[in-house]
Every structure is written in C-alpha cells, then in structure tokens.
Amino acid sequence: MSRVLLAPTLAVGAWSPTLTAWSLPIGGSSGAGGFVGEAWGKVGNVQALRERLTVRGNNRLYAVAEIPSKERPKWSDFSYLRLPLLNRRLAFEVDLSAVGCGCNAAVYLVAMPPRPGADASMYCDIQGYDAEPCLEIDLLEANTKAVQAALHTTVGRGGRAGSCNQDGCVANAGNTAASAGLYGLHAPRIDTARPFTVSATFDEGGAFDVTLVQQQASLLFFDPAAVNGSASPDGFPAPVPATDRARTRAALSGGMTLVVSLWSADDLSWLDGGCDAAHPRRAVETAETFEEEGGGEEELEADAPAPPNALQSWTI
C-alpha cells in the first residue's frame, strides 16, 4: 500500500495564464508525478507541500505520471496518470472546513485521452461543454453543508430514464433536512468542521462504493446496490444497472484521469440544497490525502470558467 497526501494554500496573486505543474507523489505512481493545472487557474493558489495539495480559487488540476524538468512545460510534455482501479481501493483525506456552502470541491475520474493535446488539456466530462462527452465518476463533490457522489456513463437527461445519464446515478447527504444529521458542520455522523476520509472501492465488474469515514463513524454513502437518480424507475434507490457497470468497467480498464477542482456558482442547490444559517456562504479551505490499496501490483486554452474567487479555497 502506498500513501500520499495532497494539500492547498491561499495566495492572492496576479492573474497569470501559465501552464504550471506541481510535483507530488500519488499512490502507486513512481513518485515522479504530480498535478498539472489549467492555465486559467492562478498559479499561487495551488501548493504542493509535504505530500499535501492545497487549492484556492477556481482551479482544475489533473494527475500526471511525470513532471518534466523544464522551466516552461507545454501540455504535450505530460501524460496523465492512469490509476489501475479495478479491484482496488482509492482513498484520500479531505479537510473541507473552509469550503463554504455555494462552493464545490470535487475529486473525480473522467475518461480523458491518455495524453493532453499539443496546447490543451483535452478535458472532457459527461456534460460535454468542452469536448465530446465522456464517462465521469464523481467520487466527491462537496462543501461543508452537503456531499454528493455520482456515476454518469451516457448522455441524456431525465430521472427515471433507466441509465446513469447526465443527471446521474446519485447519492447525496446534507442537501435536505432529512439527511442533515449524516453530514454537515457539527453533524453527528460526519462533521465537516474536521477532516474525514473518502474511500472508494471498485470491484472487478465496474461497481464501486463511496464511503466516508471519520474516526469511529463511517457512512456508506454511494452504494451500488441502492442509488438515487436517473436509473431508478420509481424514484427510489435502485441498483446501478448492469449496462452502466459494464461501461464503467470498460472506462476504468482503459484508464481514467483523476481530476481535482474547486469552483463556485450562484446556485449550487443541486449539490447543497441552498445555504442556511448554519451553513452560510463563506470563505473556505480544504485538505486531502490520497492512498491506493489493492491486490498486488501496483497554456493554454482558456475557455475559462468564472475568474478565481479568493474567498473560496480548499486543501487536498
């Protein structure tokens, strides 16, 4: 088992459209890897120190296999890290205590091409705003109020569609009063004022769960035997359909890219159900640890989202 920590830190720097890479060993990799960030992310808003990655402001980072020792790297100098996840567990620790309601700290896998293009990341996800849609596994989309995990294997909209589509096979805690005891600031089960671990276990067939762990407490959160959302015909939790598991297995066998991002929006109610007195919109910070366990082996284009907002940050 290898274990790695990632972490972020705030710096309100000048806008600096430069491709930047941060060295950081990630579980199972040779130790030469790290993260490369989109050029629209502020350089000083990401730090990789002592195996911790810290991110502030709008940023999107990709795990890469190796960081070339060049002063001004180009996208084409990198190849994405392909974690072999079938039959494995991927776990990381996060500190979301400063990721306020209205912000989304996300750790997810997308079926991107194995290498960036000459001068662009070639980012894709299921929504397909930047490129052809590709399969997306959201392990964590979260702030201090709510947490969501989702599987998206195909385009298409609508709940009860019978597949994990753009709306997704979804698990959420904290977005309604009914689940507020499970997750939130000072919640009895997972207290977002303190760090917790996100653990995803993948089986051979493409099914995976996501479990949140904090000291003695644990929350089996995304359960492949009972997920909500687009694949449940009657609106109640249902198993992830066999077709979606098979598509997930195929994508994981081909290798998926690990993405870490932080962003905010005026309306993130799909995630957090809206902010409240206990979870106001506020400044944020986060921390995270990656670890991978398992059997044996082990410039850019700036179609930029909203400009960085120094009031949000997180540490991975």
Ligand X SMILES: *[C@@H]1O[C@H](CO)[C@@H](O)[C@H](O)[C@H]1NC(C)=O
Site residues, ligand X (CB under 6 A): 171-172, 179, 228, 237
Beta-carbon-side half-sphere exposure of residue 59 (alpha carbons within 13 Å): 35
* Contacting residues for 76 by C-beta, under 8 A, at least 6 apart: 115, 116, 117, 118, 119
Nearer residue to ligand X within complex by CB, 125 or 209: 209
Of 74, 178, 163, 162, the closest CA to residue 118 belongs to: 74
- Tokens representing residue 159 in the block: 């709940």
Determine how many CB atoms are found less than 10 A away from the CB of residue 15.
10
Alpha-carbon gap, residue 8 to 59, rounded angstroms: 11
Nearer residue to ligand X within complex by CB, 20 or 179: 179
Q: Helix, strand, coil % (nearest 5) of the chain?
A: 10, 35, 55
Task: For residue 252, give the 3-state DSSP assignment.
Answer: helix
Integer-rounded Cα Rg, in Å, for the chain is 18
Nearer residue to ligand X within complex by CB, 198 or 300: 198
- Tokens representing residue 194 in the block: 């303190």
Nearer residue to ligand X within complex by CB, 7 or 240: 240
Nearer residue to ligand X within complex by CB, 34 or 168: 168
Nearer residue to ligand X within complex by CB, 46 or 227: 227
Least separation, in Å, of the C-beta of 151 and ligand X?
13
Least separation, in Å, of the C-beta of 150 and ligand X?
10
Nearer residue to ligand X within complex by CB, 237 or 305: 237
Using alpha carbons, list the distances in angstroms from residue 120 to 36, 76, 133, 290: 11, 8, 16, 26
Alpha-carbon gap, residue 300 to 309, rounded angstroms: 20
Least separation, in Å, of the C-beta of 246 and ligand X?
23
- Report DSSP letters for 229-265, one per residue: ETT-TTSS-BPPPHHHHHHHHHHHHH--EEEEEEEE-
Least separation, in Å, of the C-beta of 198 and ligand X?
15
Contact by Cβ (8 Å): 244, 163? yes
